[in-house]
Structure 1
Amino acid sequence: MDQDNLHVAIISSPGMGHLIPVLLLRQRLVTHHRLIVTVLAVTTQTSPVESQLLTSVTNSTDINLIKIPLPDISNLLVPNDAIVTRLAVMMREARSGIRSAISTMNPRPHVLIADLFSSDVLPIADDFQLQKYVYVPCNARFVALTMYLHVLDNEVKGQYVDQTKPLRIPGCVPVRCQDVPDPMLDRDNRQYHEYVRMGINFSTLSDGVLVNTWKDLDPTSLDALKHNEILRSVVKVPIYDIGPLAREVDEANLEGNEVIKWLDKQPFESVLFVSFGSGGTLSGEQITELAHGLELSQQRFVWVIRPPTDVTKDGTFFTSGSGPDKPPDFLPEGFLDRTQKLGVIVPLWAPQVTILNHKSIGGFLTHCGFNSVHESIRGGVPMIAWPLYAEQRLNATLVSEELEVAIRPTVLPAEEVVGRKEISKMVRSLMEGEEGKVLKEKVKLLRESGNEALSMNGSSYKSMCEFISCCKKKMKSD
């Protein structure tokens, strides 16, 4: 099938966790399906790491990227507005810049793909007679819940977190109320209404939804999105499972990296990697308990650490960056001296994909952002699920209770402090216990399943081909 002339524009909302999936989708479309792809990246210019990534992409000779500057939105927000609200406002205010960028593109794209926080941008496609899709780099259960939420909004009385029974989505595994994404925690908050609006946009403003998942990750939800009559009456548009799209190991710029050099000297699968993503933060008390827990476990570790915050669990979402080389001063007294032979502390940022694919890594203590979940599975690394914000509780339940490739604390880390003894027990169980061995076997089988889905005859490859074929047919008919 000749696909060389199909031109796709993909819009990314601000944040490393949003830009990376868009770049992965772009890479997949270019390298495996020979499409022309342009990325339109809305950026706040507040994250050093995001700025470095954008600069490297801009300087690349084979990537078409247009940076969309964000207008001043300070008068449209109040200080306590949550992330979903801020992102929604940002993307609505960026519409003029996006429209202007598309108007000057030559050749003009045939297809516009908006990431999940950019759905309000989709009507721009009508101005240029473009096809329009949404790309959601999350699991199928999140997509089903998001698109069905306006129905629940009419059916459920009171706060979701106060319900005594799980939320039922036709054809899907019921969602426990404690697992709902952050915007559903308070129906009186502005971000809840933005989230409901977003789910409605997916089905009313788009020609289809691309989901970064594959059939074996959550087969029940994916099947319901595609075939359940009741859910389909709400979803309406085609669903394309195209994942798992995850970053590959990049050996460039790692020469002399002290963490990799240290890992090279450690025994096979003996090191626990600890990281809470580009935006996750812990309280000072939780950092202290985590430090003592790692020390008590006597297991090797690499810990990417950020200064504590007691305000929010997503405290560095828009400001994450590389940090100082000096050891942090907020760790327990004497911790660094006592653990200098056990572990390595890395301020703020580390090459996560390379670390997760290193032979010395045997476990990953993660916030369960979906990028990190994919990267852990693709690396064949079992997890300790430590959800903090967004849809991470949904992800944690999926990987720990259904896929059984992770263990998790008995309390929700976003609500209660996880104690050092429990941390030590989980780490030892994962790294040297029988439970850990079972998890490792299952995650490696899941890795093979993901690889198979992306192969030439795999389900995700075929689904992507269906999407492209649909776009080609519409392009020729216009």
Structure 2
Amino acid sequence: METSKPHVALLPLPGIGHMIPYLGLGKLFATHHNFKVTIFLVSIDHLSQKQSKTIISEMSNGLFNVVQLPQIDITKLIDPNATMGIRLPVIMREIVPAFRSSIATMKPRPSVLITDIFGTDAFSVAEEFNMSKYVFPVVHAWLISLTIYTPILDKEVKGEYVHQKEPLKIPGCASIRVEDLFDPLLDRTNQQYDEYVRAGIRLRMSDGVLINSWEELEPKTFAALRDDKLLGCVLERPVYPVGPVVTQSSDLSKSGLLFDWLNKQLNDSVVYVSFGSGATLSHEQTTELAFGLELSKQRFIWVVHAPTEESGDKAYLKGRSGDENHDQFGYLPEGFMSRIQNVGFVISDWVSQVDILSHPSIGAFISQCGWNSTLESILKGIPIIAFPLFAEQKMTATMLTEEFGMAVRLEVLPSNKVVGREEIQNKVRKIMVDKEGHGIRDRVNELKYSAEKAMCKGGSSYRALSELAKSFEAHMQL
């Protein structure tokens, strides 16, 4: 008897950076396995809702259904200065009743739920409606290993992690240096620490973990996650390295002032500067970055946003209203826009990052080291100047520089101190001009080949996704 195909429900966290890999995953299920896919959008304000709809219309190509869940107001539930590590879990808990109501009315109902580590409260809905449940955190395997091991560290380590004299050890994996600690681990008395420990515990309630990486990129970590004598005995769930899952670039003949300018530049001659969809810099750091780019005498594209009093984690997900309330680029140094007319292009609107990175004129990327940006850089063969701001970005920057060799790192952490113009100038020229930059470019091209091979038919990620699809189909027959 022929059975119907699985119907996959995707429930990402709010924010463009979380949504984009879920769109990519949905495309893979729809195109490679002919599954029905529904993506449930969680929005915190009208602006984020509008941005999400714009991106989906550009990238989904009508391959799956989209359900917009009601906006969630958590202002009465959290402190106004609450960090992302607090806000995200609260938002995802509060959205569960609306998610349940939506699932209950669907015909046919989804048979699979895939959500992030802070979305696991929705597992109650999955269990009620006999859906298999998976976790797809949009980060690398090294951070997942830390996440599942944190409940054990919580019992074993005395005092604050930041006061430890030795790096935190994760069995079978690279240790975590104190200066690279993931934000929720910086203060064990903070609510975001409790939320993170809870996430590590609940991750093991899933039927499996999808990781946006590939076997050959993090072999040691994946081996530890599966080893019954190491992390496998903690996780006790199958791990599926399905990455790199990114949205592919659209038609490269894109028009508009930005791409018209790019088309006039030489190959590998432009530095792309962007810190993701959610991050902002302080006024002082914005000023130093502007001067650093100017002093480097290299061509650049800078996706700039109005500076805020709060930067990094605290400014994340608070919208872009600040840009609309400023004179156009009036927050940049006096005379900057006129001085860089022939060498720089400054933009504040949302633009498809993967389209920019796909352009042959791009030669380097000043990035906050978000995992989406890292994967896009690898797939396009673009070296990174690591500028980590918050969350897991310090860990990622260390991995990119010390393990992968595809990036250069700043002498100071931007999350701790303002990076000066001379430092920015030197690092830009190191990638774009100095001989050392050639070796870094060769290394990122090796990683690019590895990533492409993993996703091709017969590759490690292709096989992992096929294995996952079979598990979805087997669940439907139970």
Superposition TM-score, scaled by structure 2 size: 0.95
- Quote the residue 2:220 is aligned against: 220
Work out whether residues 184 and 196 of structure 2, in 8 Å CA contact, stay in contact via their aligned partners in 1. Answer: yes
- Quote the residue 2:268 is aligned against: 269
Residue 59 of structure 1 and its aligned partner are, at CA, apart by 9.4
Give, in whole Å, the separation in 1 of the partners of 2:316 and 2:200: 26
Residue 228 of structure 1 and its aligned partner are, at CA, apart by 5.0
Give, in whole Å, the separation in 1 of the partners of 2:322 and 2:434: 35
What are the equivalent positions in structure 2 for 1:29-44 lying under 5 Å apart?
29-44=29-44
CA-to-aligned-CA distance 1:418-461 (integer Å, 9 cap, x gap): 11111111000101111111111111111111011011110001
1:474–1:255 distance in 2 versus 1, CA, 3 Å:
closer
Is 1:351 equivalent to 2:375 in the alignment? no
CA-to-aligned-CA distance 1:139-173 (integer Å, 9 cap, x gap): 00000000110000111112112211111111001
Work out whether residues 382 and 406 of structure 1, in 8 Å CA contact, stay in contact via their aligned partners in 2. Answer: yes
1:208–1:22 distance in 2 versus 1, CA, 3 Å:
same
Task: Name the aligned partner's letter for residue 120 of structure 1.
Answer: D
RMSD: 2.0
Give, in whole Å, the separation in 2 of the partners of 1:53 and 1:320: 15
Task: Name the aligned partner's letter for residue 352 of structure 2.
Answer: P
1:138–1:52 distance in 2 versus 1, CA, 3 Å:
same
- Quote the residue 1:116 is aligned against: 117
Work out whether residues 5 and 473 of structure 2, in 8 Å CA contact, stay in contact via their aligned partners in 1. Answer: no
Residue 116 of structure 1 and its aligned partner are, at CA, apart by 2.5
1:27–1:55 distance in 2 versus 1, CA, 3 Å:
closer
Residue 283 of structure 1 and its aligned partner are, at CA, apart by 1.2
**Which segment drifts farther, 423-432 or 340-349?**
340-349
Is 1:282 equivalent to 2:281 in the alignment? yes
Residue 247 of structure 1 and its aligned partner are, at CA, apart by 1.5
Residue 327 of structure 1 and its aligned partner are, at CA, apart by 4.0
- Quote the residue 2:305 is aligned against: 306
**Which segment drifts farther, 421-430 or 347-356?**
347-356
Task: Name the aligned partner's letter for residue 408 of structure 1.
Answer: R
- Quote the residue 2:369 is aligned against: 368
1:47–1:229 distance in 2 versus 1, CA, 3 Å:
farther
Work out whether residues 306 and 323 of structure 2, in 8 Å CA contact, stay in contact via their aligned partners in 1. Answer: no
1:47–1:435 distance in 2 versus 1, CA, 3 Å:
farther
Is 1:25 equivalent to 2:25 in the alignment? yes
Superposition TM-score, scaled by structure 1 size: 0.95
Structure 1 unaligned spans of 5+: none
1:327–1:12 distance in 2 versus 1, CA, 3 Å:
same
1:54–1:450 distance in 2 versus 1, CA, 3 Å:
closer
Give, in whole Å, the separation in 2 of the partners of 1:310 and 1:45: 21
Give, in whole Å, the separation in 1 of the partners of 2:55 and 2:339: 39
Task: Name the aligned partner's letter for residue 206 of structure 2.
Answer: S
Give, in whole Å, the separation in 1 of the partners of 2:405 and 2:475: 42
- Quote the residue 2:420 is aligned against: 419
Give, in whole Å, the separation in 2 of the partners of 1:76 and 1:439: 47
- Quote the residue 2:239 is aligned against: 239
What are the equivalent positions in structure 2 for 1:77-96 lying under 5 Å apart?
77-96=78-97
Task: Name the aligned partner's letter for residue 336 of structure 1.
Answer: M
**Which segment drifts farther, 155-164 or 52-61?**
52-61
Give, in whole Å, the separation in 2 of the partners of 1:99 and 1:386: 40
1:129–1:151 distance in 2 versus 1, CA, 3 Å:
same
Work out whether residues 3 and 33 of structure 1, in 8 Å CA contact, stay in contact via their aligned partners in 2. Answer: no
CA-to-aligned-CA distance 1:44-75 (integer Å, 9 cap, x gap): 23435534436727996432111111343322
- Quote the residue 1:230 is aligned against: 230
Give, in whole Å, the separation in 2 of the partners of 1:247 and 1:113: 18
Task: Name the aligned partner's letter for residue 312 of structure 2.
Answer: K
1:161–1:38 distance in 2 versus 1, CA, 3 Å:
same
- Quote the residue 2:189 is aligned against: 188
**Which segment drifts farther, 389-398 or 309-318?**
309-318
1:255–1:244 distance in 2 versus 1, CA, 3 Å:
closer
Work out whether residues 16 and 52 of structure 2, in 8 Å CA contact, stay in contact via their aligned partners in 1. Answer: no
Residue 138 of structure 1 and its aligned partner are, at CA, apart by 0.7
Work out whether residues 213 and 242 of structure 2, in 8 Å CA contact, stay in contact via their aligned partners in 1. Answer: yes
1:155–1:348 distance in 2 versus 1, CA, 3 Å:
farther
- How many matched pairs? 474
Task: Name the aligned partner's letter for residue 34 of structure 2.
Answer: R
Give, in whole Å, the separation in 1 of the partners of 2:60 and 2:6: 24
- Quote the residue 2:411 is aligned against: 410
Give, in whole Å, the separation in 2 of the partners of 1:317 and 1:79: 13
What are the equivalent positions in structure 2 for 1:112-151 lying under 5 Å apart?
112-151=113-152
Work out whether residues 59 and 247 of structure 2, in 8 Å CA contact, stay in contact via their aligned partners in 1. Answer: no
Give, in whole Å, the separation in 2 of the partners of 1:261 and 1:226: 49
- Quote the residue 1:209 is aligned against: 209
Task: Name the aligned partner's letter for residue 47 of structure 2.
Answer: S
1:113–1:96 distance in 2 versus 1, CA, 3 Å:
same
SS at match of 1:215: coil
Give, in whole Å, the separation in 1 of the partners of 2:243 and 2:52: 26
Give, in whole Å, the separation in 2 of the partners of 1:13 and 1:57: 20
Residue 348 of structure 1 and its aligned partner are, at CA, apart by 4.5
- Quote the residue 1:250 is aligned against: 250
1:412–1:32 distance in 2 versus 1, CA, 3 Å:
same
SS at match of 1:440: helix
